[in-house]
Every structure is written in C-alpha cells, then in structure tokens.
A and B are shown apart, each in its own frame.
Chain A
Amino acid sequence: MDLRFTPEEIAFRDEVRAFFRDNVPAKTREKLIAGRPLDKDDIVTWQRILNKRGWAVPNWPVEWGGQNWSPVQRYIFDEEMQLAPAPQPLPFGVSMVGPVIIAFGNEQQKKRFLPRIANLDDWWCQGFSEPGAGSDLASLKTRAERKGDRYIVNGQKTWTTLAQYADWIFCLCRTDPAAKKQEGISFLLIDMKTPGITVRPIVTIDGGREVNEVFFDDVEVPVENLVGEENKGWTYAKFLLGNERTGIARVGLSKQRLRRVKALAREVGLMDDPRFREKVAAVEVELKALEMTQLRVVAAERHRKDKKPDPFSSILKIKGSEIQQATTELALEVAGPYAMPYVPPQEGRNEPPIGPEWAAPLAPTYFNWRKVSIYGGSNEIQRNIIAKAILGL
C-alpha cells in the first residue's frame, strides 16, 4: 500500500497542470473563479483547445481520439482541470452520447458523429427526463412511431440542460407501448433543427436559464438515427447513467471552492471567528475522506473484470454532492449582507456592482447547487442502489 503518486504520475500531473495554467483563456478562468456562468463561446473555445492537444475525449478508445490513460491518470486529469480551474467538457457529448455511440452505434454513426463531438462542432443535449418520468425514468411516454424509413416522434422532455444551444438531442422514446416499460424504449438521435421541435426555457430558482422543456410535435427522424436495436434503448441508457456517476464526486472543484471561501473569508475577517473556521475545517475533513474514497474506487478499477459501474460510485455521488453544496453554503455566509442584492444574470456588466463584485454570484450559486443531489440519479436513488447492490437489502 503506497498512497502517494508514482514519479510517472507526478510527471503527468505536472504536464497537465502546466497545460491548464497556460491555455485556459483568461476571461473564462475569471468567470469560473468568480462563479459566474460561462457562455457558449467560452465552452466551445475551450473544447477546441483541448481537442487540438488531443485531450478532448481521453476516455474514448484511441482510434476515436482517446488516450488509453490509466484510471489514476484520468483521475489526475479531471482533478487538475477542476483545480485550475478550467471548464469541464460538456458531458452530453463527450461522456454520454459519445460512449453510447462507440459501444452500440454502427460505423456510419461513429464516423458521422464522433469527430464532431470531440471538436464540439455539434452541441448535444440529453432527452431523458419527462414531466412524468424522473426517478422512474422507464415510465417515459414520448412516443416514436415507425412509418417506413422514419420515426414520428411526439411528446415532451424536460430539464434539458442548455438545449437552447444544442444542435442535436439524444432521446429515449417509446417504440413499443405494449411491452413491459423497460423493454419498449429506443435510443434516437434527433437533429434539433427538425420541424416540430420547440424549446422553452425553465427559469430556475437562481434566476438562471440553464434548463428547458423540449416539445416534439410530429417530428420526423430518419431510422438511420436509431442507435443499436429498436426497443433496446433502456440497456444503453443504463450504460450511460453508469458513466455519469463516476465523475460526479468533483473533489477538485470542491477544493478550489474551499480555497476561494477561505481567501474571501480572510479578506472580510471571518476566518478570525473560530466557529466559522471549524465549519470550514469540518467540510475539509469530509472532502479529504471523499478524495481518499475516490482514489480507492479509481485504484480498484484495474481489478474489475466487468465494465459495469462500481456501485461504490454511488457513495461518491452522495458525498460529492453534499460537499459541493456545503461549499456553496459556506460561500453564502462569507458574502454576509451583500448576499442579498439580486442582479439579473442577463444584465450587462456595464452597471457598477452593488457591494463587492465577488459577492453577487454567491447566493445564486448556493441556490443553483441544490440541483446536484437531484440530478444524475437523486441521492435517494443512489441509496436505493447501494442498499440493493452492496448491502443486499
């Protein structure tokens, strides 16, 4: 047992760290540190910088631009990206639909979509949740009816993140309403420019416009955009959701946020208050434990023969989301009275700030971050998974 990184791993870390230090555009970095939202251009520009370096899709197979990194290297890469901070690549293409196409798509789909995902030429969004299908995702109702060489799609998706920018949406649709609910679902790739698609924003409690409703009204989708087999979509969705859980601990992000909380708290004198210091230290202890737990999961990966998601990753999701939320709550406390003024996010940055500039995004971030224990399989669903898969209850 040697819990230190090897010299090779340290060399890799230094290389990655230097790249992030030298290549994240200054305005993007400033927004990330301040907790202000990124715009489309920030995200696309960064993805192309990564792609040029060959690091856009490290988890993919080498033939599609992947890096064949060890689990530890992948961990280091993610951690350094969050610490830098650099924008995390949009998960919808790189971590969600990309791996599904690689695992279950045909050659034509791979050639058509994968390079454009890596370079963010196509912006993807996720069409899973529906108004009546959240935790019970398999009860989804959006219908895709086969008519010759097309599917006709009707229904509604919701909580669709950044659909306002999206070129494509991957959708779970019901293709066999007579079958058992998990067995009649198919995985379709749909061009967002197809007639009959309407995107309507949902304003969230932080005032942000991050998620949307997407309506499908007789939308025609060519059958060549079906991934894998018809009615096997649930299998692909489970594969995708398993991938989603592993990256969700976000230890590096929480470290970066705690550093900022401490720096700001020192500035306003709050670090002189032993009660606040101890609250910060308590979160740091939990975070250190989570970091070690994540490293245990990462290290165990090379012993795993099957590719199924480790149910242990549900622990990372639960603790990771709780700790991220705790850091936003600490930041809110640092803001003090200047947590209160509401500045609409759409407003230009020409107006002089009310109070210190750093304080304005802290309350919205706290509000917004309540989402992390809900999305990606709510923490209650994660507990169900652990109860069944680890405890055998």
Chain B
Amino acid sequence: MDFDLTEEQRLLKESVERLLADRYAFEQRQAYQKSPEGWSRELWRAYAELGLLGLPFAEEEGGVGGGPVETMIVMEAFGRALALEPYLSTVVLCGGILRRTGQKELLPRIADGSLLLAFAHGEPRSRWRLDHVETQVENGRVTGEKAVVLHGDSAEKLVVSARDGKGRIGLYLVDAGATARRGYPTQDGQRAAEIRLDGTPVEAVLAEDGMPLIERVVDEAIAALAAEAVGAMTALQELTVDYLKTRKQFGVPIGTFQALQHRAVDMLVATEQARSMAMFATMMAGEEDAAERRKAIAAAKVQVGRSARFVGQQAIQLHGGIGMTAEYKGGHYFKRLTMIDQMFGPADHHLERLAEAGGLFD
C-alpha cells in the first residue's frame, strides 16, 4: 500500500499547478468567464501542449497513457483554480466513451485540442436516473431533447444517448451543428446547453447497447469530480483560515476565538474525509466488477457532497459579509461545490443507491 505519487505523476502535478498559478489567477478566471465562450481557448491549447487532453488515451492514439490517478491530479488542480474549460465533457466523458468504442481516429483530435465534445445524455424528465432516455433513434436519425448538456454550446460533436426500436439505450455520435442548441451559463460560471435533435443524422454508431458504458464513464466522471471538489474545498478551507488570521474584531484576529477555531477544524476534517474518499473513488474507478465499483463511487459521492456542503456553507459564514460578495473568490468556490454535488445526483441520491445495494461492509 502506497499513497505516494510516481516521479512522472509528481512532474505532472507540478506542471499543471505551475500553469494554473501563472495563468489562472482569480481576475484572469473572471475575464475568461466573461468572454463569449465562457472559457479560454488559449488555456485549452496550453493543456494540449502539456498532454492533459490526451491524458487517458494510449500513446498510439496521441495520448500519454495515464490512468485514474493522473486524472485525479489534473482535476484537483482544476478545482483549486476554478477552471472553466470543457475538460470533463471532452476528455473524461466523451473521451472515455470514444476510446472504448473504436473511434480511434477522433482521439488524436481531442488530444491536440482541435475537437470539442459534449455528452448529451440527461433529459428534461430524467433527473438523476441514468436509464431514463426518451430520445429515439430510427433509421440512422435521432430525435429528442437533451437537458443541461455540459459545454454543449461549444462542442463540435455530441455523444447522444437514444433508445432504438428494440428499447436498447445506445450511444451515437452526431454533428452538433445539426441540432438546435440554446447555450447558457450555469450558476458556477461554467457553460451548458439545452439541445433539440429533430431527425439529426447519426455520424457513427458508438454502442447499440450502451448502458454499461454510460454507467462506467459516469462513474469515472464522478471520481474526477470528487477530485475537483477536493481541490476546491482545500483552497476554500485555506482561504478561510487565512481570513481568520487577518480579520480583526474586538482588537484581535477573529481566529483567536475558540468557537471559530473549532469550526475551522471541522472544515479541515470534512475536507480530509472527502480527500480520502476521492482517493478511494480513484482507486475503484477502474474496477471491472460494476456492482462493487458503483457502491464505491456512490459512497465517494455521498462523502464529497456532504463535505462540500459543510465546507462551503461554513466558509461563507466565517467570512461574514465578505463571503457574500461576488467579487470575492470564496463565494465562487461555494457555488462550484454546490453544483458539483448536484452533478450526476446529490449526496442523498447516492446514499439511497448505496443503501439499496447493501452498503459497504458485510
């Protein structure tokens, strides 16, 4: 058993953190967010140069052959920087599907940064159920509505789930330009789109029976989000402790008050428990036994969601009025953490799934 990073992993961590420290200060981040696309093409190219966009792909597919640990390292750094780029959509979700469905010619285009993708799966009535798909595929054409598609507005191609005549949920590649899209910002400053497909032609059939693959990449995405949340929580926790040391009231730093110290400690404990479960999720993301993997990922989502809620709410409270202002970074961490809990189902949803599956220990 060993929690240490390898030499290559340490180098990866250092180079991502250095890039983001140089080019993702909070003011820069706010400028990227206000740009028309809502994120930075320049940073996207920098990610490509660092090899981040081909991280999970094999070397012959233009990638670097990284695994879940490498994804964790990158996502944690993104969480700390509140990065806005469509990494989860393009690399983790769609890259995860394409590399397992023989779309090898597209992978080098993801890796070099020239192809953006979005995973169009959720629908207006599906809520968190992964198997609720009303969109239809018939004679090579897809018709239906897809809801809150992350970075669906800037994607060139979409991976769409649809039900065929036999009732199977399959995965299909379509040209995003052939759909009707309404892009919008999300609460945390990221982007998403509502997408309507009306007989949109299928460019490639990725999987006719796609549920196991959908569950698998969603589990990988949850593990990645857990790492992102840990990055954001750690930064927010540190920001709060710094504030407690500098803000003076009654003639002393407010961090000298035991009520506030203990709250800050509970934030640290919550963050570390989440970090432990993000590591557990990373370890289990590659588990072939789907039932075991699902339980582990659900457990991680529960812990991360609960920790994120606690750390976020307490950080705002301990900052007082400053925590409420839009120009302060803290509130943006809180909003991102709140949205991460929502993504792929909040803590209570996963607790219910875990409990139904018999829990973690037998």
Contacts and interface: CB of A to CB of B under 8 A. Distances in A.
A293 B2 CA distance: 13
Given A289-B273, A293-B272, A393 B261 contact: yes
Contacts of A280: 355, 359
A298 to B, nearest CB: 8
Interface centre among B9, B258, B273 (most CB of A within 10 A): B273
B252 to A, nearest CB: 12
Contacts of A292: 276-277, 279-280
A1 B262 contact: no
A390 B272 CA distance: 12
Given A289-B277, A392-B241, A386 B265 contact: yes
Nearest to A280: B359
Interface stretch (A140-148, A229-237, A254-262): A254-262
Nearest to A75: B1
Contact of A296 (B258, B265, B276, B352): B276
Interface in B256-308: 256, 258, 261-262, 264-266, 268-269, 272-274, 276-277, 279-280, 282-283, 299, 302-303
B3 A387 contact: no
A1 B2 contact: yes
A77 to B, nearest CB: 14
Contacts of A390: 268
Contacts, number: 133
A176 to B, nearest CB: 31
B268 A386 contact: yes
Contacts of A319: 269, 273
A63 interface: no
B241 A288 contact: no
B interface secondary structure, majority: helix
A3 B276 CA distance: 11
Contacts of B4: 1, 299
A392 B245 contact: yes
Given A285-B299, A387-B264, A277 B1 contact: no
A289 B265 contact: no
Contacts of A259: 361-362
A3 B279 contact: yes
A380 interface: yes
B2 A2 contact: yes
Nearest to A278: B355
A385 to B, nearest CB: 9
Interface of A: 1-6, 9, 72, 255, 258-259, 262, 274, 277-278, 280-282, 284-293, 295-296, 299-300, 312, 315, 318-319, 380, 383-384, 386-387, 390-393
7 contacts: A1-B279, A1-B282, A281-B355, A285-B277, A286-B303, A289-B274, A393-B256
